[in-house]
Amino acid sequence: MKLLRTIRLDPSDTFIFERAAEAGEWAVSGSFLFLDSDPGELSSKQRHALRSGFLGISSLGFSTLATVSEATEDEFAAARETLARGFLGRLGAPNPEVASEAAGEELRYAQSLCDHPVGTLVAVQRSIGEDGALREQFRTLRPRERDENQDALHAFARAFTFHEVEDDSKHEDEIDLLTISKDSSK
């Protein structure tokens, strides 16, 4: 069985989210946190979580990336129990049965995103449409293939490749690091 785990490639999650997930936590999409949200009423850090955050189930913090990882039945059960406790204690679930069922649904949805090789990175992009519906798109990045004809230092594909872009003038989401750093100091 496969599940998602949070991964931290650099410290940016600690700046852009109110609470960053710890690296290596089991993760779910977390979109349920934003179902009835008005983006205009969210802080900039909450908007970042809405747009691009996976929810780490232990911390209930966010991670920009998750990685497809092997999981045992026992790890799935423990993840379900941890998430159910979070639903009860911090997110207002009415009782343990409802919390456990909701946690199971979230983990099964996360499992459905893991139809990729172990080690594949997954990113999410969310938006709220004009109709108020929450939309999610998931993107993946797989590890590079090893070139067996190269030494250990050069065994993988080039670090950079160049692609011609037709129209690079549209940027829907630009990150203002100065504003984010000011928000984090409050």
pLDDT means per 10 residues, the chain with 186 residues, are: 95 95 97 85 93 96 97 98 94 92 97 95 90 89 71 59 54 59 59
Domain tally, the chain: 1
Domain that holds residue 74: 2-184
According to DSSP, the residues that pair with 140 across neighbouring strands are 122
Pick the closest to residue 115 from 68, 178, 54 (CA basis). Answer: 68
pLDDT at 38 (0 to 100): 82
CA distance 56 to 67: 12
According to DSSP, the residues that pair with 2 across neighbouring strands are 70
pLDDT at 156 (0 to 100): 59
pLDDT at 36 (0 to 100): 78
51: three-class secondary structure by DSSP: helix
CA angle 71, 75, 76 (to 5 degrees): 85
CB 91 within 8 A of CB 32: no
Q: How many other β-carbons are positioned within 10 Å of the β-carbon of residue 10?
A: 8
CA angle 85, 89, 94 (to 5 degrees): 90
pLDDT at 142 (0 to 100): 77
